[in-house]
Amino acid sequence: MASFAPSPADVADIGVTGMAVMGSNLARNLARNGFKVAIHNRSVERTEKVIADHGSDGEFYPSESIDDFVASLQKPRVAIIMVKAGGPTDAVIDELAARMEPGDIIVDAGNALFTDTRRREEALRAKGLHFVGTGVSGGEEGALNGPSIMPGGTKESYDRLGPMFETIAANVDGAPCCTHVGADGAGHFVKMVHNGIEYADMQVISEAYDLMSKALGMSASEIGDVFAEWNTGDLESFLIEITADVLHQVDADTGKAFVDVILDQAAQKGTGAWTVQTALELGVPVTGIAEATFARSVSGSVPQREAARGVLPAKAEAPEIADRAAFIDDLQKALYAAKLVSYSQGFDEIAAGADHYGWDINLGDMARIWRGGCIIRARFLDRITEAYERNGDLALLLADEYFTREITECIPAWRRVVAYAATAGLPVPVFASTLSYYDSVRAERLPAALVQAQRDFFGAHTYRRVDADGTYHIEWTGDRSQTRQDG
Ligand code: 6PG
């Protein structure tokens, strides 16, 4: 028996089903902002606990059954689902859809794969329902106090949802960190890329930490001081800030630096891999994100690491670091440059996704809604918005005048860091891959010409010429004459 009276019908502005931490915090955030919030969970104990612990946050309308939950919503109804991605989400969608009417809105605020969101949106649209896949970033704290919110779905659904979401979202300089991203799966697509960028940011920060630790022999807490200092400049961001905090943490059991007692195997729930898989399908080189994702995989490749450890030699001679302060300064610049490349690549993926799926995504707005609330919130996101305002057709973020200037200043330091790491035998997958990308994308000419020749040699895959239109093939096994293949 639930320890609350049944809620009245047609009363709540919005409902949330799924009362784990993210769902209950989102519901509390809505309630604290004056919305009447219906809440529900598969097992009623969690709903009871939210009421018992946080009932005073605002007006909650708890329900034990999904029927009562739906009935308690004002029409057109809005119900947010905050349950596990995949099967559990599909199950709850079916339960809600069976009880809803045309014009009602179902919101999936979990980290769903955008292609699932597109499928669900299409199925519910056929029933006259709106399905809104929405990215929500900021973790537990953000959900409660102001996340960055990235809703997809119809414009019509945003007319109903937007005012509520913009009220509960983080707010930077008077602007809410929420906007209508685009149709169907656009919101989850953008959230996916956000997470990919998050992976790259986290990895490159960790590479800088690793170099300070191994090349300079600095303690975790000393490195924490460096990150705290970096957080006062161009690198200012949530992830740099928490890195400083984490590195200053001492393990209560051993008295050692906390980071030193953590097993060095990074887990992943899948959004980084989705970003890379999608980028491969769209043909977008998100090399920084890919290397960051694979770096987690390498860390978790336990049998391979055991087989290699102590067997495969480094054959490396770490160059002497005469000026430690200069080395740290180089790391700061390299970190900034690598970060700029990761963001530039991420925005390329959003642009490619928008193009492919027909979404009208404003790239500058995406940077704007990431300025607060989300995990990758950072000072320089303003500069990205400005770059897209200067030129809405910007083909490459790095080619914007501001970013070109910024990255140019970092190049010598970035090269020294990558060269040092390679010579010393220290892995820097994101530092190195982003530098390689930088040198590739700016190259006058790439060795791809040779790849094309090889493809034509063994597979008659044809090639194009620099000096004439058309596609051609060489009779490699015959007289090696060239023939035009396209008519
Ligand atoms: C956010 C986070 C959030 C979550 C990731 C972590 O934006 O609030 O990205 O979505 O922390 O799922 O992902 P991994 O477990 O894959 O690191």
Each residue's pLDDT tens digit, 182-230: 999 999 999 999 999 999 999 999 999 999 999 999 999 999 999 999 9
Q: Cβ(121) to ligand 1 under 6 A?
A: no
Segment 340-393, tens digit of pLDDT: 999 999 999 999 999 999 999 999 999 999 999 999 999 899 999 999 999 999
3 state DSSP class of 285 = coil
Considering only CA atoms, which residue is closest to atom 11 of ligand 1? 139
3 state DSSP class of 172 = strand
Structure tokens at 322: 């005469």
Q: Which atom of ligand 1 is nearest to the CA of 111?
A: 10
pTM over 0.95, yes/no: yes
Considering only CA atoms, which residue is closest to atom 10 of ligand 1? 137
Q: How far apart are CA 67 and CA 128, in angstroms?
A: 19
The pLDDT value given to residue 1: 59
Segment 39-59, tens digit of pLDDT: 999 999 999 999 999 999 999
**Phi/psi of residue 279, each to 5°?**
-65, -40
On whether the CB atoms of residues 345 and 289 are closer than 8 A, the answer is yes
Considering only CA atoms, which residue is closest to atom 6 of ligand 1? 269
Q: How far apart are CA 452 and CA 474, in angstroms?
A: 12
**Phi/psi of residue 218, each to 5°?**
-80, 150
Average predicted confidence (pLDDT) for the chain: 97
Q: How far apart are CA 388 and CA 406, in angstroms?
A: 16
Q: Cβ(195) to ligand 1 under 6 A?
A: yes
Q: Which atom of ligand 1 is nearest to the CA of 272?
A: 16
List Cα–Cα distances, 224 to 68, 209, 334, 371, 379, in angstroms: 51, 9, 18, 23, 19
- Tokens 């996101």 found at: 381
424 C-alpha to ligand 1 centroid (Å): 32
Provide the H-helix boundaries in 309-447: 324-357, 363-369, 381-390, 401-424, 429-441
407 C-alpha to ligand 1 centroid (Å): 28
Q: How far apart are CA 411 and CA 330, in angstroms?
A: 9
List Cα–Cα distances, 484 to 71, 291, 451, 475, 487, in angstroms: 69, 39, 19, 11, 7
Considering only CA atoms, which residue is closest to atom 9 of ligand 1? 195
On whether the CB atoms of residues 351 and 364 are closer than 8 A, the answer is no
What is the CB neighbour count within 10 angstroms for residue 20? 13
262's CB contacts (< 8 A; 6+ apart) are none
3 state DSSP class of 474 = strand
- One-letter amino acid of 303: P
Q: Cβ(162) to ligand 1 under 6 A?
A: no
Segment 262-288, tens digit of pLDDT: 999 999 999 999 999 999 999 999 999
Q: How far apart are CA 129 and CA 481, in angstroms?
A: 62
Q: Cβ(84) to ligand 1 under 6 A?
A: no
Percent pLDDT > 70 in the chain is 100
Provide the H-helix boundaries in 249-286: 271-282
Q: Cβ(7) to ligand 1 under 6 A?
A: no
Q: Which atom of ligand 1 is nearest to the CA of 374?
A: 7
Segment 308-343, tens digit of pLDDT: 999 999 999 999 999 999 999 999 999 999 999 999
What is the CB neighbour count within 10 angstroms for residue 319? 12
Q: How far apart are CA 61 and CA 79, in angstroms?
A: 13
